[in-house]
A and B are shown apart, each in its own frame.
Chain A
Amino acid sequence: MNFIRTIKSGLTLTCLLISAIHSSAQADVITDFGQQVSNVEKTASSRAIYLGRLFNNVDPGPFRRMESMYAIVTIAQATNVALFIGDASSGFEAARAANKVFDSGLRVTNATQDRTEVVFVPGDPNVSPPQDIPIPAGLGIHDSLALNRRLDFWLVGESNSGFTVPSTLGGDPAIFFIEFNRTTSVPEPSSIALLAIPAVGSLIRMRRKKKLLANKETISEQAA
């Protein structure tokens, strides 16, 4: 009977904690677009094309990480080209080594290789859910935005890749578009502590109760 009561109280506490965390979690969507810069940097290990800078003067707010995103870029002859985000408008390899740019996890591939296309990653926003960003990259990207109030975008392929990113298309600007879903629901240290302390507490309480019960039984046996 006591055991059931203990489980019940533990469950209630956990539910309370979860609901508390959920009610405090916030999410929002930020979007921006601009003309592609298309400066190429080629090294022995990669061929990186600078897309440009977006989210100028965007307030980091209470948010802690970029959770997921959409990207729309104008590109040709691309296969699995990676989108890197962070703080560097030139010197991609140095910025990557200094952990100033992060791999968003997005990969860009042209549907047809004989055209310069607008590619939606991971797909049409009306149909596809946004692409999840790995947690370390999501935290890094958000920290970069919070620190610099802007984000730089790079498309990166192998050193011998021949993908092209235009800045203009017959006189019109070639545009790229980014949408981030950012959130506060990060397993930050305080939340972990908030979860762990009551759990440990309830465990100690359970053990203590068990001990008391055992002591009671021993006393009653001795009395008998």
Chain B
Amino acid sequence: MGEDVQKAALRLDKVGIVRQGRDGETVEILREVSLSARSGEITAIVGPSGGGKSSLIRLINRLDDPTTGKILLDGEDIQRLDPLMLRRRVAMVLQKPFMFDGTVLANLQRPFLYRQEPLPGTGSEELRHAMELARVSSDLIERDARTLSLGEQQRVSLARALITRPQVLLLDEPTSALDRPTADRLAATFHDICRSQQITVILVTHDLRLAGRIADYLIYLEGGRILEEGRGEEMLARPQTAELRRFLAEPDEKES
């Protein structure tokens, strides 16, 4: 246990979100969610849409703040960190890759632009490193980013997230807009990056096949609560709760 906590780069401690609903009543979106994620491992959060997965992952780079509980990065409360500094350490790839106007190069330079740092050129070490990890072909560098295929765009957005060498990588439904073969190849890339860079990866998905294949640790979230958690495929093979059994049986949820 002591060792586990030590190695856990990221820890959520009884995190909850309460929002004001339309009619003024309070809605509990997350309730006492605790988890530890270790570096060099992929922690997948699975569950039906509306179960709180995306709300949860958005807390980790402070796109939102929780109502209760704490999130610790290397033992430090992220609430006490400057959000701009935090987002350098905790990168995020969203479901739909957003490409800014301009070339792939311009897109990859964005993080440096925002920090008003010198922009890395085509041959720079930072660019090569990120593109290699995300497997973005160097032929694409001068292309207009908006003309790329969705799969290529998602790789560019992955490279863009990795270019500042983050410690934690958050993936919010990163493959759900892609077709199956493209999604599978991208998933393999996530796995390789996690291992080779010893990054802590948090993957949010409703795609159980994907989660079972690449995740080291699985968390099943429904109704804003963790109902089950365990080591990868083991958990999927022997679901303990009725909710997870039902989720496993629903083909739509897994394939959409």
Partners in one complex: no
**Residue positions of B touching A, CB distance < 8 A:** none
A residues near B (Cβ < 8 Å) are none
